[in-house]
Amino acid sequence: MLSAKQHLLTALAAELEKLQTGAGARAAFESPKVAAHGDLACTAAMQLAKALKQNPRQLSESLRIALLATPAFERWVDAIEIAGPGFINIRLKDAAKQAVVHEVLQAAECFGEQPAQPHKVLVEFVSANPTGPLHVGHGRQAALGDAICNLLATQGQQVYREFYYNDAGVQIGTLANSTQLRAKGYKPGDAEWPSGENAPAYNGDYIQDIANDFLAKKTVKSDDREFTGSGDVNDLDGMRLFAVAYLRREQDLDLKAFDVRFDNYYLESSLYTSGKVDAAVQKLRDAGKTYEQDGALWLKSTDYGDDKDRVMRKGDGTYTYFVPDVAYHIAKWERGFTRVVNIQGTDHHGTIARVRAGLQAANVGIPEGYPDYVLHTMVRVMRGGEEVKISKRAGSYVTLRDLIEWTSKDAVRFFLLSRKPDTEYIFDIDLALAQNNDNPVYYVQYAHARICSVLAAWKEKDGGDVASLAQANLSPLQSPQAHALMLALAKYPEMLTSAANDFAPHDVTFYLRDLASLYHSYYDAERILVDDEAVKKARLALVAATAQVLRNGLKVLGVSAPQKM
């Protein structure tokens, strides 16, 4: 069907170009909102009518006649109907819809993917400071980042995954002090333990674990560092380095349990030690985009649409947090990443304008709108109808590892991707464990397993080979349920492209649920392993293609496609 649709689109473009120069470039098909209205729809006549000073319905009728005379429409279209003020509804021949089955089976795991592109894309996500376990918000970001990377890869883009974290600063100092207090035998609630807003401390039990291992002189190794504890309770600097390495290892374990990998870990401290922060500030000075006032250095960010100018360097000589961000993104650009996507919590919304302003003011050739941002809200966790707020291990929040252990990696990924990133999400533990149609990941995986069971039964009884189905005669696929399933399969590539362009992996979850629903309806309507060999082969080819697309879509989400459930 994809080939047929492309031929029809080319023919439509040619006829529109005859009506008005340049109109061919806007040729497009839509899916009718009501299935009974046809398989494809076109609104081109209504769009052109005003410019051509013609009645839209009459123009639609003229276009209908012209299209039916083209070889492509003669071959693939059964009928064209005009509706309402000028909608053109197209009904495809059965052969056009059936063709997608062969296209899926021949392309297999590559179905829906686009040719390789030359440019590189860097996606930065998770980027949690090493001060504690990853919480469920980090989990949502990990699922989003990984799925967006997978989506971009389907479009042929060279994707690079990066984790950026602050390995210095006030929070790391608090981590070291908290660890030292635990090492000395103090705990939250003791008189010696810091309390109040001006005396922060990390209270989770994991701090005691760090202190114990440091005192035991253990060696901890993460993906990007290794450190051995000295065992000296007064070695605060060594305790800081040990604690960072310990928590980085813990984060690695969380991410590996979630099946998320990174190509690089980028340290904020390296921006200072390499001189990149000072260099970025000098670029802004040289461009005339800074000024001194009240003992501070300011960026003229209002020149680039920010609501007010921003302090870059405070009176005490330290930089505000967006300055290293500007330096970091200049480094991304210099590393050859012409496109960058940052996935962050909604609390970072205020940094977007000032980072982009700094990048424009630096005058290094970075285009406006660089980088792209995907912002997500936090996640609430419900269990037994009540909100779960505290993890003993973390002290004040539910961790990603908690969520995986309570349910499964597949459930966590699918659930956290099933809503738009900027909408609040409530993760229902009980629903994630339910083995029924209300559980969306179970519903989709069960459709795949159900198909695998049919194919396995065919193989056991008849010695059937799925590879042979790529040449099956598909003409017996005539039922409304079969047609609906084939049309859904044909939408997969366009859905992928749209989801990648919009950074919208939730579109994939919606599509998979719809496809699973159509398969379950088809299974209920038509027996697959019938006696008629031609009918059986055609139906097996259709369900094998459906299983392939389910697998492909689940892979984009990082979710498994089990053969048995």
Instruction: Say if residue 394's pLDDT is above 70.
Output: no
Instruction: Say if residue 496's pLDDT is above 70.
Output: yes
Spatial distance between the Cα atoms of 100 and 95, rounded to a whole number of angstroms: 9
pTM: predicted TM-score of the whole model, two decimal places: 0.91
Instruction: Say if residue 393's pLDDT is above 60.
Output: no
| pLDDT tens-digit series, residues 432-464 | 999 999 999 999 999 999 999 999 999 999 998
Q: What is the per-residue DSSP string for 396-461?
A: SS-BHHHHHHHS-HHHHHHHHTSS-TTS-EEEEHHHHH--STTSHHHHHHHHHHHHHHHHHHHHHH
Q: Which CATH architecture has domain 2-92?
A: 2-Layer Sandwich (3.30)
Spatial distance between the Cα atoms of 497 and 111, rounded to a whole number of angstroms: 12
CATH classification number, 437-557, choose in 3.40.50.11750, 1.10.730.10, 3.40.50.410, 2.170.130.10: 1.10.730.10
Q: Which of 564, 443, 552 is nearest to 496 (CA)?
A: 552
Spatial distance between the Cα atoms of 542 and 549, rounded to a whole number of angstroms: 11
Per the prediction, the chain carries an average pLDDT of 93
| Exposure string over 23-48, b if 16+ CB within 10 A, otherwise e | bbeebebeebeeeebbbbbbbbbbbb
Domains 2-92 and 437-557 share a fold: no
| pLDDT tens-digit series, residues 71-119 | 999 999 999 999 999 999 999 999 999 999 999 999 999 999 999 998 8
Q: Which of 358, 272, 355, 352 is nearest to 318 (CA)?
A: 272
Instruction: Say if residue 195's pLDDT is above 90.
Output: no
> What is the pLDDT, as a whole number, of residue 476?
97
Most confident of 5-19, 377-391, 547-561: 547-561
| pLDDT tens-digit series, residues 115-152 | 999 889 999 999 998 988 899 999 999 999 999 999 99
Residue with tokens 């009974």: 36
> What is the pLDDT, as a whole number, of residue 391?
58
Please, which pLDDT band fits residue 530 given cuts at 50, 70 and 90? very high
| pLDDT tens-digit series, residues 214-243 | 999 999 998 888 999 999 999 999 999 999
| Residue spans per domain, the chain | 2-92, 170-250, 437-557
In sequence order, the 6+-apart residues with CB closer than 8 A to the CB of 84 are none
Please, which pLDDT band fits residue 36 given cuts at 50, 70 and 90? confident
Percentage with pLDDT > 70 across the chain: 98
Instruction: Say if residue 392's pLDDT is above 60.
Output: no
Asked whether the CA dihedral 293, 298, 304, 305 is positive or negative, the reply is: negative
